[in-house]
């Protein structure tokens, strides 16, 4: 019988979490689960997690005051919390581990087709595309926002209900071992790796470390699971080969099992292509621009095919996809100006794809203006990566570059060394200054790209430009 909030008891929680009941009733029922005391509702089970900047144990009593009828705490933090009136108290060795183990148990109690997606770029868009396809066949649960880590993924799985037929989860990481653990928890039927690029290098040292970390999925999926890899990514394929697992590949090159051909770019109206698999061809159309979205759609199509989804449903699902906010989202402004919001995140791979797409979208006679924020978590590669970012901007023949962040000078230097005029590239110290510099230069017909790591909060720049362009 599937697990369900409103029916799940203390007794059922104890086994998967390896918990010990310090006080309370084994038959106590929980209506939900929360790790944030501020959002705890009546009847919830509160799990006290410990992070870099918080300790949930300090808020356990607050959660109970807000209506929680149970708390999960660490054994070594039980003093003062072992007996709380009106609430069950469960002690475990590690609350984060307990959350993941509970989610893994919950996943096994629901008969769903589950796809897990990771990669250095494109994983969120690919996840959303897969979700659109599978929703045509039945109710589908998908990761929301950045719920892709050791907290967010379990919380997503714990939302599975009886009516769900499919689930699509995103897996992120910034250090070795995380993808392995996420794979253990999710137990995907299909595991997808979109690519390997320079991202999270602070915790992974170099791009080979990224490849090793991403391919932990290949090592940890169950023998019955299908593995789907970008066959055009040689580093990814090399890293995955060490496990000797059978894989299915997708890509543009001839040797891939699932291949994309005949790409047709219609600018802001979108892109289309043909996907070939086992001698058959599927013509797909996207209503979102950018060559990178062709690759994302190919990965989504491949995942759906491995789940025996009908070609008609694949075509309809992808045509219904309208993009992900902040992921290369075109915004039409007065005067034929196009503002591209790509502010959700940035790394060298995604920036290269975005700049390539922007160059292809430029209107006849229009100019390209670029606003870039720093790319975070690049470690020792930060300086050369930001120099290269500036060089790539210059290669798009952009009319103007404004950069913000600690490594903004490197971006400007790279652009100037690659031929941008001295008046065409400059830094900005604040969001307001970045907007002012752009507004003073925008002309009718221009194409403006705004992109940076999430911590740079460049969505503020997008909002201000939209408000100020007459």
- Summarised one tens digit per residue, pLDDT across range 413-449 is 999 999 998 889 999 999 999 999 999 999 999 999 9
The verdict on 243 and 377 lying in the same domain is: no
Domain count of the fold of the chain = 3
Q: Could you read off the pLDDT of 236-249 as tens digits, one per residue?
A: 999 999 999 999 99
Q: State the average pLDDT for the chain.
A: 94
Average pLDDT on 388-410 reads 96
The verdict on 181 and 306 lying in the same domain is: yes
The verdict on 71 and 183 lying in the same domain is: no
The verdict on 149 and 273 lying in the same domain is: yes
Average pLDDT on 95-107 reads 98
If residue 389 lies in a helix (H) or strand (E), which one and from where to where? helix 382-395
**pLDDT at residue 207 in the model:** 87
**pLDDT at residue 336 in the model:** 92
The verdict on 200 and 292 lying in the same domain is: yes
The CATH number linked to 434 is 3.90.190.20
The verdict on 173 and 286 lying in the same domain is: yes
Distance CA 347, CA 377 (A): 9
Give the other-Cβ count within 10 Å of 12's Cβ: 17
**pLDDT at residue 85 in the model:** 83
Q: In which domain, by residue range, is 425 found?
A: 329-468
Q: Are 167 and 140 in contact (CB under 8 A)?
A: yes
The CATH number linked to 141 is 3.40.1190.10
Q: Answer yes or no: is 43 within a domain.
A: yes
Q: Could you read off the pLDDT of 116-154 as tens digits, one per residue?
A: 999 999 999 999 999 999 999 999 999 998 889 999 999
The verdict on 400 and 367 lying in the same domain is: yes
Residue 363 has pLDDT above 70, yes or no: no
- Domain boundary (320, 343, 368) is at 320
Q: Answer yes or no: is 133 within a domain.
A: yes
Distance CA 421, CA 398 (A): 10
Residue 1 has pLDDT above 90, yes or no: no
The verdict on 373 and 452 lying in the same domain is: yes
Task: Please give the share of the chain, as a percent, with pLDDT higher than 70.
Answer: 98
**pLDDT at residue 82 in the model:** 84
The verdict on 144 and 64 lying in the same domain is: no
Residue 180 has pLDDT above 70, yes or no: yes
- Domain boundary (320, 343, 364) is at 320
Helix%, strand%, coil% for the chain, nearest 5 = 40, 25, 40
Distance CA 169, CA 144 (A): 9
Average pLDDT on 402-408 reads 97
Distance CA 400, CA 159 (A): 46
Residue 364 has pLDDT above 80, yes or no: no
The candidate with the shortest Cα–Cα distance to 357, out of 454, 232, 444, 271, is: 271
Average pLDDT on 31-50 reads 96
The verdict on 244 and 388 lying in the same domain is: no
Q: Could you read off the pLDDT of 190-201 as tens digits, one per residue?
A: 999 999 987 766
**pLDDT at residue 200 in the model:** 65
Average pLDDT on 173-194 reads 96
The candidate with the shortest Cα–Cα distance to 31, out of 54, 9, 57, is: 9
The verdict on 177 and 272 lying in the same domain is: yes
The verdict on 66 and 193 lying in the same domain is: no
Residue 203 has pLDDT above 80, yes or no: no
Which stretch of 44-58, 150-164, 166-180, 196-210 has the lowest confidence by average pLDDT? 196-210
Q: Could you read off the pLDDT of 54-94 as tens digits, one per residue?
A: 999 999 999 999 999 999 999 999 988 888 888 999 999 99
Distance CA 69, CA 90 (A): 11
């Amino acid at each position: 019988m599937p697990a369900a909030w409103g029916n799940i008891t203390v007794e059922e929680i104890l086994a998967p979490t390896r918990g010990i009941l310090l006080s309370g009733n084994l038959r106590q029922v929980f209506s939900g689960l929360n790790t944030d005391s501020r959002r705890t509702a009546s009847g919830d089970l509160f799990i006290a997690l410990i992070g870099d900047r918080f300790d949930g144990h300090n808020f356990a009593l607050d959660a109970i005051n807000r209506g929680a009828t149970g708390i999960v705490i660490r054994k070594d933090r039980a003093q003062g919390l072992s007996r709380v009136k009106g609430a069950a108290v469960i002690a475990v060795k590690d609350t984060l581990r307990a959350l993941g183990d509970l989610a893994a148990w919950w996943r096994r109690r629901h008969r769903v087709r589950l796809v897990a997606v990771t990669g250095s770029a494109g994983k969120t868009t690919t996840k959303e595309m897969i979700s659109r396809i599978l929703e045509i066949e039945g109710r589908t649960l998908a990761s929301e926002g950045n719920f892709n880590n050791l907290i967010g993924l379990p919380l997503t799985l714990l939302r599975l209900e009886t009516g769900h037929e499919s689930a699509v989860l995103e897996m992120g990481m910034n250090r070795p071992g995380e993808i392995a653990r996420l794979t253990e928890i999710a137990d995907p039927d299909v595991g997808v790796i979109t690519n390997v690029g320079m991202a999270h290098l602070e915790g992974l040292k170099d791009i080979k470390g990224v490849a090793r970390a991403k391919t932990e999925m290949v090592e940890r999926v169950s023998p019955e699971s299908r593995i789907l890899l970008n066959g055009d990514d040689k580093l990814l394929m090399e890293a995955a080969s060490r496990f000797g697992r059978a894989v299915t590949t997708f890509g543009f090159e001839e040797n891939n099992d699932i291949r994309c051909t005949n790409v047709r770019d219609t600018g802001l109206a979108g892109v289309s292509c043909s996907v070939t698999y086992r001698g058959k061809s599927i013509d797909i159309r996207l209503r979102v621009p950018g060559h990178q979205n062709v690759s994302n759609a190919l990965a989504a199509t491949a995942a759906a095919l491995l789940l025996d989804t009908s070609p008609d449903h694949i075509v309809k699902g992808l045509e219904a996809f309208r993009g992900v906010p902040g992921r290369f989202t075109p915004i039409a402004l007065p005067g034929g100006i196009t503002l591209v919001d790509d502010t959700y995140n940035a790394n060298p791979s995604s920036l290269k794809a975005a700049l390539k797409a922007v160059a292809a979208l430029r209107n006849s006679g229009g100019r390209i203006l670029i606003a870039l924020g720093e790319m975070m978590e690049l470690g020792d590669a930060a300086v050369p990566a930001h120099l290269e970012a500036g060089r790539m901007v210059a290669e798009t023949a952009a009319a103007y570059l404004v950069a913000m962040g600690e490594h903004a000078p490197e971006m400007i230097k790279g652009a100037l060394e690659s031929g941008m005029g001295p008046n065409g590239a400059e830094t900005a110290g604040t969001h307001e200054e970045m907007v002012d510099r752009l507004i003073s230069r925008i002309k009718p017909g221009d194409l403006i790209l705004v992109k940076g790591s999430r911590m740079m909060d460049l969505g503020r720049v997008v909002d201000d430009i939209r408000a100020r362009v007459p």
